[in-house]
Amino acid sequence: MAKAHQRKKQPEQVRRALLDCVAQIAIEQGLGALTIQAVAERAGVTKGGLLHHFDSKQALIEAVFADLLEKLDRQIDQAIEADPEPRGSFTRGYIRACFADRTHGTQNLWAALSVATLSEPALRALWSAWLDARLARHHATDNTPTLTIARLAADGVWLADMLEKEAGLQRYPMELEAQLLAIASAATSDD
């Protein structure tokens, strides 16, 4: 009896490929076009193979969102490490991250997932848990009203960009980033 060809299993590579394919479809066509079949076909796996890693479309979307939050974490951590002033360093890193994708237009994953985050309780819960953990971690350096206002202003610009990509860029110029960073740099523990 001939031995069947066996492909070496690489679950982490398959999982990564599936997440990347979800991201590509979401960016290119929006979340409405995202189906288990479309992801499986793009990744070159069977539907059953996909369901082995993620048991539903919702699980796929949540995993992609969690992956985005990990990337955001790394981006903010890099900014914190490069910041010589500990007070407000998380806020400045957060502001930089909020402004980082502004010029990419609608062809980015945050844009594809942002509106879904507003309407999807599971994604809001992931965001809230991430933010709560970050605020707790940086409580000693970033817990003043002024720093909170700076982060909320950055959130507002980010949201305006996501909802009205082209008009938002015109209404809220890139100079706002420098102004918010200046506010975050001037904040003291007495604010």
Q: What is the pLDDT of residues 71-108, one digit of tens each?
A: 889 999 999 999 999 999 999 999 999 888 766 555 56
Residue carrying structure tokens 């599936």: 18
Q: Let me know if 157 is exposed, middle or buried by CB neighbors in 10 A (0-12, 13-18, 19+).
A: buried
50 shares a domain with 75: no
Full residue range of the structural domain in which residue 105 is found: 65-186
pLDDT greater at residue 1 or residue 108: 108
pLDDT tens digits for range 151-163: 999 988 888 777 7
Handedness of CA 84, 86, 88, 92 (dihedral sign): positive
Contact 65, 73 (CB under 8 A): no
Is it the case that residue 8 has pLDDT exceeding 60?
no
* pLDDT confidence of residue 2: 47
Indicate the residue type of 161. Answer: D
Is it the case that residue 44 has pLDDT exceeding 50?
yes
Q: Let me know if 114 is exposed, middle or buried by CB neighbors in 10 A (0-12, 13-18, 19+).
A: middle
DSSP symbol at 103 = G
150 Cβ contact partners less than 8 Å away, ≥ 6 residues apart: 91, 95, 180, 183, 184, 187
* pLDDT confidence of residue 168: 57
* pLDDT confidence of residue 133: 97
pTM of the model: 0.82
70 shares a domain with 119: yes
150 shares a domain with 89: yes
171 shares a domain with 107: yes
Q: In sequence order, which ranges of the chain are alpha helices (DSSP H)?
A: 11-29, 36-43, 47-53, 57-82, 89-100, 109-119, 121-137, 139-142, 145-163, 165-171, 175-186
Percent of the chain residues past pLDDT 70, beyond the cut? 84
Inside any domain, residue 191 = no
42 shares a domain with 69: no
CA distance 116 to 126: 12
Inside any domain, residue 34 = yes
* pLDDT confidence of residue 1: 43
